Chains A and B, each alone.
Chain A
């Protein structure tokens, strides 16, 4: 039995459930919009891993019957109010429920897409870039600085530069233009992250276990995900990557202990590949809908017939 933990109203979770249904793979949905108040759980840890069960109004699932887990946690904005509780108390109870569930998922022996620990590198883009570079993929020249002169020199060196947050918050890529250059003295108040603009075509890679799906995106927008905000479009098509790049993407996912990852690459006109970041909870719906790539089918197969993936000790110290 596969356990899906996510929001029923979330398109990605809905696609995972639909695909599992379509494949005939049995699953249970733990709707995180209604968790924990609409579910009952009993988990017990003794000398071995956890044992116990999860129950909804119409089903009960023993932990040892779970063969795979897909988890996509929700933000507070995706959850309804809890009747009779003020929002702060409700948020505290939901946080306790989420942390409990995360602890359980960390300690299950079956494949979990994905455990929380592996994805935390996404909270620090420069840290992740350093880790990416150590797996053999090139990263764009990157500068994190609180020195206005260093930022100006970096801009002068590369000509075209983008900036983006260093954390996972407000993570939109923007071009460094005259307005921003005029404000660089504000860097003294706190560092910002700059990257040399890499010309070429965006590629999104989804690794699912040992399988790789690459999608090329043609767009004039700096950040194609937000092309519509600038009145631009994005065209997507499946491509095959050079085997060395395929292998590097898999190494990267393994390094972060991610059974499923979204990896952002760019291929320059010279045929060089640069890696920008790794997403531990990719919204792959956008790519599958545009290309027909069977990403959700691969995910369903990974969860139903798990490949002999050995959990790695490295890269995720708390698990």
Chain B
């Protein structure tokens, strides 16, 4: 049996599900892996680790796991503190269970990945840089003069405005005029702000195993980044990651890393290749489907 932690309406779950089902391979999709009918026993002792999540399927019979969600306990009916505790407990147990499985787990989480899902690009920056990937300039400052200096540097490069990108939100706000910069300066009285340079149209790459799957037409320089993209995914121990590249002042740069790639971001031909590669990873048919097309071949 294959197990998907996520939702059946997620196109990625649905697509892989359909491919496995077409081969006659059983799949179970669960949003709350520890909820009944699950009945977990996870035992670690001198003999090693033995675990069982479902009474009807031993963990050793789970052929592969696709992790699309880290689990969310509905807060309705819970006291806020108790909800936070139970949520933390369920996530802690799910992480341990996933970490101990012998089958392929995509992505097999470690604590840093599990507890920082959705982390901003800045959290990946050192690893991206060490992998040889170009990055946009970022400034964090509570000094309005430094913010103005960044604005001037961008303007000198022909870029009007900057993007204010709070690190605790998945949002960005274009600072397009003097009013916006003045409001930013007022905010800086209280806390530092994270600014980055605006970028051009995004090109998406999805790395699945060792395959770099591009979406649509490739901008100049993209193919040359494939080895660095593979190095990054390997160093981050990610079997499945979406990376957005876009032109900034000094050329193409990584502007987003998403460890829960969205299939719906990609055009249909790329989706098919991503799903094929995922199925190959889950079923361990690495030689057949993970071997990518020639570098730079459009999907």
Contact of B60 with A by CB under 8 A: no
Interface string of A138-164 (1 = CB under 8 A from B): 111111111100100010000000000
6 interchain residue pairs of minimum CB distance:
A126-B96, A167-B88, A124-B92, A141-B45, A167-B92, A120-B111
Can you list 10 A-B pairs with a CB-CB distance of less than 8 A?
A47-B134, A85-B190, A99-B167, A118-B112, A124-B91, A127-B99, A130-B100, A169-B85, A317-B127, A317-B238
Kindly state the separation between the CA atoms of A167 and B89 in the bound complex, as whole angstroms: 5
Q: Compute how far the CA of A44 lies from the CA of B111 in the bound complex, rounded to whole angstroms.
A: 28
The size of the chain A interface, using a CB distance under 8 A, is 70
- B72 part of interface (Cβ distance < 8 Å): no
Contact A191 B40 (CB under 8 A): yes
Report how many A-B pairs have Cβ atoms within 8 Å. 210
Contacts of B126 in A (CB 8 A): 49, 106-107, 319
Across the interface, which residues of A come within 8 angstroms of B127, CB to CB?
317-319
Q: At the interface, yes or no: A67 with Cβ under 8 Å from chain B?
A: no
A147 to B93, CA, bound (A): 14
Instruction: Please encode chain B, from 122 to 161, with 1 for each CB lying within 8 Å of some chain A CB and 0 for all others.
Output: 1111110100001101111111001000100000000000
Partner pick for B192 among A100, A121, A168, CB 8 A cutoff: A100
Question: Which residues of B lie under 8 Å from residue A169 when comparing CB positions?
Answer: 84-85, 88-89
Q: Does A24 touch B at the CB level, under 8 Å? A: no
- Taking the closest CB of chain A, its distance from the CB of B164, in whole angstroms, is 11
Question: Please, what's the 1-or-0 string for B94-118, where 1 marks a CB less than 8 Å from any CB in chain A?
Answer: 0111011000000000111111100
Would B41 and A145 count as touching, CB distance under 8 A? yes
B88 near A318 with CB under 8 A, answer: no
Which among B13-21, B31-39, B221-229 touches the partner chain? B31-39
List A residues 14-57 near B (Cβ within 8 Å): 36-37, 39-49, 52
Residue pair A121, B92 in contact (C-beta under 8 Å):
no
Bound complex: CA of A176 vs CA of B91, how far in Å?
Answer: 23
> A147 CA to B40 CA in the complex, in Å?
6
The answer to whether A96 touches B88 (Cβ under 8 A) is: no
The number of chain B residues touching the other chain, given as a range, is: 35 or more
Per-residue interface assignment for chain A, residues 108 to 133, with 1 indicating a CB less than 8 Å from any chain B CB and 0 otherwise: 00000000011011011111111101
Contact B36–A167 (Cβ < 8 Å): no
Residue ranges of A at the interface with B (Cβ–Cβ < 8 Å) = 36-37, 39-49, 52, 82, 85, 92-97, 99-100, 103-104, 106-107, 117-118, 120-121, 123-131, 133, 138-147, 150, 154, 165-170, 188, 190-191, 193, 313, 315-319
Query: Which residues of chain B are within 8 angstroms of A94 by Cβ–Cβ distance?
Result: 191
Query: Separation in Å of the B96 CB from the closest CB of chain A?
Result: 4
A191 to B150 alpha-carbon distance, docked (Å): 51
A144 touches B93 (CB 8 A): yes
Q: A96-B166, A165-B89 are in contact. List 12 more A-B contacts (CB 8 A).
A: A36-B192, A82-B190, A96-B192, A103-B125, A103-B167, A124-B91, A126-B92, A127-B95, A142-B44, A165-B92, A169-B85, A319-B126
B194 within 8 A of A: yes
Which single member of A37, A47, A313, A318 contacts B112 (CB below 8 Å)? A318
CB distance from A172 to the nearest CB of B (A): 12
Chain B residues lying within 8 Å of A167, measured Cβ to Cβ, are 85, 88-89, 91-92
Query: When the two chains form their complex, are residues A96 and B191 in contact, meaning their CB atoms are under 8 A apart?
Result: yes
Q: A133-B44, A316-B112, A317-B113 are in contact. Are A124 and B96 (CB under 8 A)?
A: yes
B95 A97 Cβ-Cβ under 8 A: no
Supposing A103-B167, A130-B100 touch, asked if A318 and B119 sit within 8 A by C-beta, the answer is: yes
- Inter-chain contacts of B216 with A (CB < 8 A): none
Partner of A130, one of B88, B96, B124, B190: B96
Q: How far is the CA of A147 from the CA of B37 in the complex (A)?
A: 11
